[in-house]
Amino acid sequence: MKQKIRDILGKHGGLPVPVETLADDADLYAAGLSSFASVQVMLGIEEAFDVEFPDNLLNRKSFQSIAAITRAVEGLTGSAEAAE
């Protein structure tokens, strides 16, 4: 799942650094993720995992790091146990 999220981040995140150089807990906003790019990442993830982010997850925190995005997607797909 994390690799898939990394791929989406690489495609839609518009980051000035390669996604491979970022740790799972690295702050994506500090790494250059813009507000608008975070929205595109959100839409990319919804499409890839066939999920819909509810209102309470549509915020900066959900996309703060690869780990945070993973947690959000796990919560939405109910795959927390299977993922790790």
Contact residues: other proteins, CB under 8 A: 34-36, 38-40, 42-43, 53, 55, 58-61
Smallest separation (angstroms) from other proteins to the CB of 3? 24
The residue among 41 and 66 lying less far from other proteins, judged by its C-beta, is 41
The residue among 35 and 82 lying less far from other proteins, judged by its C-beta, is 35
DSSP line for 43-74: HHHHHHHT----GGG-STGGGSSHHHHHHHHH
- Residue from 40, 39, 2 nearest 23 by CA: 2
Smallest separation (angstroms) from other proteins to the CB of 46? 9
Token pair belonging to 75:
């919560």
